[in-house]
A and B are shown apart, each in its own frame.
Chain A
């Protein structure tokens, strides 16, 4: 188990501030944050490449705050892998075992085993200069895993590899986690969190602003920033009104949303996940759904399908699959109906949050 207690660190004009985290053994923890949010710096503090100004770091019951980097049993895979260009793949993987303390036969055995696990046995004699992103990723992982770390830190592991290789790497990381390895994975892409994490933290300006299971974080984001990180793009500035015991939200453009909850602030943001919105050709007449007529303004391909922008008095962004787009003929300027249940609306207090 990794415990961070009130970790703070000043780095030039940037602060990691009062970070508290408890990550149970065996967790796949994804730390989401933008570039410059402090996620890499936090990893470096955990790994021991930097020392915190205050606070404590505990790993499996041992206070490692002031332990030497080499004694922490924490493996760190850097964003662009930090493969040593002056060494072959074999020497990169064997680096931690070749300080003279290890028997050469044992080193070869270990390198062969870990290379085989990661399907890179055929690369061992190669120079590192012409490896693909995916191959470098595996070499970097092999080089770290050979040290048998108790905790694996991954800095943007998907950032430099082709989309086609991402699924392979995800499968590999899931397998390592299932084998009991605790993993902290930092990324700016919420989809990596959705597909891998057992717990998620969102870091912004050096602070952890929300933490929990992926479901908690993505279904109940505490503010607009986290909501954006959860891939939500539908934000409406609203006032909340109680009419005869039933709540509704009225947007600045006078769109009225029926809501399901029992308590709302007087004003704030109403957010809607794209997945909760249905597009149809006809109006769905029901008191149990919100329905709006709109015009498709823009159709853009996105990484996982098609993003449809609909003007229904407010602008809605909805992701659909390529098949849905084709079958439903969702071309620009087409009139469509949007519907979503009252319980889909998530309210955030304060208009600017």
Chain B
């Protein structure tokens, strides 16, 4: 007798189709890339430095912006203030903007005539076509992932734990660093990895800010537009492998140091 009803079969088929759609292009790309092409590309100094640059800039952008974004996420989770929903909308804006449009907007801000560009220029730094500019472009489009995940993590920490710590004589900053941050750590790391991943894969905004130095997505596009699919494919495969390895490593590291924490509801009385 069939254990599954028709609806379950229907769900299974639809789910399989979606999954195939997601996996098939990647598998196809891997299968169509010959070993000799792949290893030749892996030894290519230009490709190596491009991937390294991408990973490094995205990590640094995520790290430095996290210093401001994580406390900001706590503020969003815990405090009410005027126009909070507008602020939340602004945070989500980069997700819905076309990324080339985001790049154009950011270019106006960091070019020599822009506000940040002028400040950077005053210390002799030109942000356009510079790793710092690339970092800003990556952060601009990927910050919502970190802020939203960290905010959800802080919101899931029962507020009474923070209140208990205050009642035990701790100052606000001690409560943040000893209670809120450790208990929201898993969500913060998830957001960190998501922002890092999104930053690494960014093309549209970065290509407006800096074609050179060439990050991996720009390099892949450059090879594709200049030499065609077969020349771009091995670089894409290599980049995907490196990205997956980095994410896996970060996940393992974060799982190893995060305390298990289960949300419980605040007492209502």
Chain A residues close to B by CB (< 8 Å): 33, 35-37, 39-40, 44, 47-49, 69-70, 74-76, 78-80, 82, 84-86, 95-96, 99, 129, 143-144, 147, 155-156, 186, 188
**CB of B158 within 8 A of chain A?**
yes
Bound Cα distance A147, B166 (Å): 12
Min C-beta distance of B171 to chain A, whole Å: 7
Within 8 A of A (CB), among B163-187: 163-171, 174, 178-179, 182-183
Residues on A with C-beta less than 8 A from B171 are: 70
Main secondary structure of the interface of A (DSSP, over half): loop
A75 and B167 contact, Cβ closer than 8 Å, known pairs A82-B161, A86-B183, A129-B260: yes
**CB of B78 within 8 A of chain A?**
no
Closest B residue, CB atoms, query A37: B269
Are the CB atoms of A144 and B168 closer together than 8 Å?
yes
Residues on A with C-beta less than 8 A from B269 are: 33, 35-37, 39-40, 79, 155-156, 186, 188
Are the CB atoms of A99 and B169 closer together than 8 Å?
yes
Bound Cα distance A261, B157 (Å): 57
Bound Cα distance A85, B164 (Å): 12
Are the CB atoms of B170 and A86 closer together than 8 Å?
no
Are the CB atoms of A76 and B167 closer together than 8 Å?
yes
Min C-beta distance of B259 to chain A, whole Å: 4
Min C-beta distance of B97 to chain A, whole Å: 36
Min C-beta distance of A40 to chain B, whole Å: 5
Are the CB atoms of A85 and B170 closer together than 8 Å?
no
Are the CB atoms of A86 and B163 closer together than 8 Å?
no
Closest A residue, CB atoms, query B182: A86
Bound Cα distance A172, B160 (Å): 24
**CB of B8 within 8 A of chain A?**
no
- Can you report 17 residue pairs joining A to B where beta carbons are below 8 Å apart? A35-B269, A69-B166, A78-B164, A82-B161, A84-B161, A84-B164, A84-B165, A85-B183, A85-B259, A86-B259, A95-B165, A95-B168, A95-B178, A99-B169, A143-B168, A147-B169, A186-B269
Are the CB atoms of B168 and A147 closer together than 8 Å?
yes
0/1 interface trace, chain B 225-269, chain A, CB 8 Å (1 if under): 000000000000000000000000000000000011110100111
Are the CB atoms of B164 and A80 closer together than 8 Å?
no
Are the CB atoms of B160 and A82 closer together than 8 Å?
yes
Residues on A with C-beta less than 8 A from B158 are: 82
0/1 interface trace, chain B 147-168, chain A, CB 8 Å (1 if under): 0000000000010110111111
Are the CB atoms of B264 and A80 closer together than 8 Å?
yes
Bound Cα distance A33, B269 (Å): 9
Bound Cα distance A284, B268 (Å): 49
Q: What are the 3 A-B residue pairs with the smallest beta carbon separation, nearest first?
A: A82-B164, A79-B267, A96-B168
Bound Cα distance A70, B268 (Å): 24
Residues on B with C-beta less than 8 A from A86 are: 179, 182-183, 259, 261
Residues on A with C-beta less than 8 A from B182 are: 86
